[in-house]
Amino acid sequence: MSIFDDMAQTWDDKPDRAERARVVSDRLRETLDFDGVQAGLEYGCGTGQLSFALADVLPHCLLVDTSLEMLKMAERGIAERKLQWDTERRNFATESLDHPENIADVVFSLQVLHHVDDLETTVRNMGRALKPGGQIALMDLPKGSSGFHHGTGHDPADNPHLDGLDRGELEQLLEGAGFSDITWHEDIELHRDTENGSEPYTLFLVTARV
């Protein structure tokens, strides 16, 4: 049982998360080339908010997460929107012969990698899921974001990157996984609702191609 299973039912209740999906989807529309895109893969989709905000440019999308309860919410969202999409419980941080290969034109992931233990394997499996020439977009907390999880129940032992990701390390992992055209874009500035009121936070956005 993942800590995210407990959060799934009420995940969409917070307006700041809906706003994040809107802001981030707008940035992805500006940054990625969706011309000719047939299939997307969102890694760590949660309830699917970001992918749903891109539904008009994603004829198909595979929503992947490790939390069954998050995936149930995502399935509900797919059914409500009458989309021909799929969900899958899968962990790219593990080696597996049945991870998808060559299936997606675009892979994207929002605030997931800082919860992943084996980043190298994860980034490599993301690359394998992409068709040749496919695009990746990663949005996450930069290193130094330790305050973001203050007071949450996340166990740092299971989340070694909880204080954010080092850009240099991530770039090396992308290169090692065979990505090129690695581009760091303007940071995404967001707000979230906390018990102390609205607090600003920053996400990086990096894109690349296989």
Among 32, 52, 58, 67, binds ligand SAM (CB under 6 A): 67
Q: What angle do CA 13, 15, 21 make, to 5 degrees?
A: 105
Asked if 115 touches ligand SAM (CB under 6 A), the answer is yes
Among 41, 110, 136, 162, binds ligand SAM (CB under 6 A): 110
Span interacting with ligand SAM, options 72-80, 110-118, 166-174, 198-206, rule CB under 6 A: 110-118
Site string for ligand SAM, 7-46 (x = CB under 6 A): ----------x--------------------------xxx
**Strand 39-43 to 60-65 pairing:** parallel
Q: Which helix (H) or strand (E) holds 50?
A: helix 49-53
CB of 129 to ligand SAM, least distance (A): 12
Minimum CB distance to ligand SAM smaller for 35 or for 80: 80
Asked if 148 touches ligand SAM (CB under 6 A), the answer is no
Per DSSP, the three-state class of 164 is coil
**Strand 180-194 to 60-65 pairing:** unpaired
How far from chain centre, in Å, is Cα 71? 14
Contacts of 36 (CB under 8 A, 6+ apart): 105
Tell which residue, 154, 135, 102, 117, has the closest CA to residue 206.
Answer: 135
Among 40, 52, 54, 65, binds ligand SAM (CB under 6 A): 65
Q: Where along the sequence are the contacts to ligand SAM (CB under 6 A)? A: 2, 4, 17, 44-46, 49-50, 65-67, 70, 91, 93, 110-112, 115-116
